[in-house]
Structure 1
Amino acid sequence: MKSNAYIEENESLKIVKFPIFDKYMDDIIAAFSTRDGGVSKGIYESMNLGFEIGDNQQNVLENYKIFSRYLDINYKNIVISSQYHHNNIKVVKEKDKGKGIVRNKDYQDIDGLITNTAEIALVTLHADCSPIYFYDPKNKVIGLAHAGWKGTTMEISGEMVEKMSLEFDTNSEDLIVVIGPSICDKCYEIDEDVKNEFNNMSIDTSSYISFNNKKNKYYPDIPRINKALLINKGVKEENIKLSNICTMENKDLFFSHRGHEGKRGSQAAILQLK
């Protein structure tokens, strides 16, 4: 399967980037971190970007400094989500700069971030769940979403399109969307009770969920379900790119919640308007 992503390396640091965004490099910075290039130790080795999972706080901050310096981002301008596997979305403004990294968050239960303010770096955290990047080149608006199975069944990707339209007059046909590295349908086992949650969505997901009779398990394709949701909201199919990189299959390069049995750090999806 063709990948719509590539790895940039600088000494020990490895970062995922996306070809579809390369033509907009004068306007945005978009990347996804890997495990490599940081200072964290043990199960968090080495580029852990999650403050709330037990790692040494100073190590995490240093990791953000390394990550940001490579991308030419001011780490003090980062705004980090407050994820709860939901579909709530926050409009990020100038006053929010630094929240979650150098200032306390004054929000919770936020799995999506959008802004039209330059030099604010939006960040969501991942270790199997899908990072979804949104860019409206016409109105210069960006968005990031964290989509696990709960956020997907709550249709956060569709909510992002609607929120960007409501707040910033985004036309869905103008959106460029990337669904970054996440667990693939070959690796992601769920039981029937979770599978049934997909039955309540606004789209038919049956073709995106397989069943293994021997294991009595279901296997949802979370990235492609989100792609279908986006198309249903009017995003052009050719403007949606899936990285086709599985975090669990590549757990030497990525933290994977399932692959590392919960003993892991977190990757960061980052997106900023220049």
Structure 2
Amino acid sequence: MEPFVLKNQSFFTIENWIKQFTGLSAGMTTKHGGASRGDYETLNLGFHVGDELSAVCTNRSKVSDLVEFPLNTWVGAEQTHGIHLKKITKADRGKGSHSYENSIKDTDGFYTNEEGILLSLCFADCVPLFFIAPESRMIGIAHAGWKGTVGQIAKEMIIAWGREGIDPQQILVAIGPSICEKCYIVDKHVINMVENTLEDVEILPYNLINDGQYSLDLRDVNRRIIMKSGVPESNILMTRFCSSCDEEFFSHRRDQGRTGRMLSFIGWKETTKRL
């Protein structure tokens, strides 16, 4: 069953997590229902893509109301397609929520076990990875393009949580809307890195389609990395939505680089009672 459920025109939620874990907010926005125009029509949430600042701020305020998380509790990043993670505390709230300049630098993943913080990252084809360890109330989110994927940012998150005393068997993961294997064509350079990352794999997550061109299932690469890191396959949810095929989303590839960004988010609301 598809884990990402459309709540209204503007965002999806990870529905069974929301039902299971009281006070959790987790999901991803669409491209619809905002104030942006032109290439960014209409719900662009990225500050760094050339859209008007006032439109992005209006869009963020709307999403804040929809997910019931005040903007001053959001945390955002200057994403660099790396594997650097940061543990977030309430002292970080508001960084990157109203402007790109004060976002947390050189970071592609956040995690926290504190309430009243909305972890947020921007996407337009790359793979959003959502993490939760309910027993310890740890939550996290990571941005996995091909560089972050072969750099194993998913494994880095699981290792970081291990330092917090969390066993991989306790971790649940959701792999969100992103570009599918049919739409994601890469060269041999990328495939070589994937092969180095996934050693001793019988069924490879790519296919040769033309001389030097391969279709790559980036979501499946992340799934395998997560499983290899000790998370049971039964703990992993994976979407079937494609950011390029499906018109609900912005797509960097489909739109030839001139497009907006969706926001993936996860947070415990401050009114949450302990389970």
1:225 and 2:221 aligned: yes
1:111 and 2:108 aligned: yes
Aligned pairs for 1:1-274 within 5 A: 3-9=2-8, 13-102=9-98, 104-105=101-102, 107-166=104-163, 168-201=164-197, 203-204=199-200, 207-212=204-209, 214=210, 216-250=212-246, 252-274=247-269
SS of 2:111's partner is: strand
Q: Deviations over 1:2-61 (max 9, x none)?
A: 53322111xxx3311223313334131001000011111111111100001111111111
**Shift, 1:189, TM fit:** 0.2
Q: Deviations over 1:114-168 (max 9, x none)?
A: 11111110001100000000011000011000000000000000101111221x3
Tell me if structure 1 keeps the 8 A contact 2:77–2:103.
Answer: no
Tell me if structure 2 keeps the 8 A contact 1:20–1:241.
Answer: no
Distance 2:26 2:36 in 1: 23
Distance 1:272 1:90 in 2: 15
Indicate the RMSD between aligned Cα atoms, in angstroms.
1.5
What TM-score do you get using the length of structure 2 for normalisation? 0.93
Structure 1: gaps (5+ residues): none
**Alignment-mate amino acid for residue 240 of structure 2:** N
Distance 1:215 1:42 in 2: 36
Runs of 4+ in 1 over 6 A off after TM superposition: none
Pair 1:63–1:161, CA change in 2 (3 A): same
**Alignment-mate amino acid for residue 127 of structure 2:** S
Tell me if structure 2 keeps the 8 A contact 1:203–1:229.
Answer: no
Distance 1:185 1:27 in 2: 34
Tell me if structure 2 keeps the 8 A contact 1:85–1:146.
Answer: yes
SS of 2:95's partner is: coil
Query: How many equivalent pairs are there?
Result: 267
SS of 2:83's partner is: coil
SS of 1:249's partner is: coil
Distance 2:19 2:199 in 1: 32
Pair 1:186–1:24, CA change in 2 (3 A): same
**Alignment-mate amino acid for residue 117 of structure 1:** E
**Alignment-mate amino acid for residue 146 of structure 1:** H
Tell me if structure 1 keeps the 8 A contact 2:76–2:103.
Answer: no
Pair 1:42–1:25, CA change in 2 (3 A): farther
How many percent of aligned residue pairs carry the same amino acid? Answer: 31
Structure 2: gaps (5+ residues): 270-275
Tell me if structure 1 keeps the 8 A contact 2:96–2:104.
Answer: no
Say which is worse superposed, 117-126 or 13-22, in terms of deviation.
13-22
Pair 1:124–1:174, CA change in 2 (3 A): same
**Alignment-mate amino acid for residue 243 of structure 1:** T
Distance 2:162 2:42 in 1: 38
Distance 1:76 1:150 in 2: 31
Distance 1:65 1:153 in 2: 34
Distance 2:52 2:12 in 1: 24
Tell me if structure 1 keeps the 8 A contact 2:75–2:103.
Answer: no
What TM-score do you get using the length of structure 1 for normalisation? 0.93
**Shift, 1:185, TM fit:** 0.5
SS of 1:200's partner is: helix
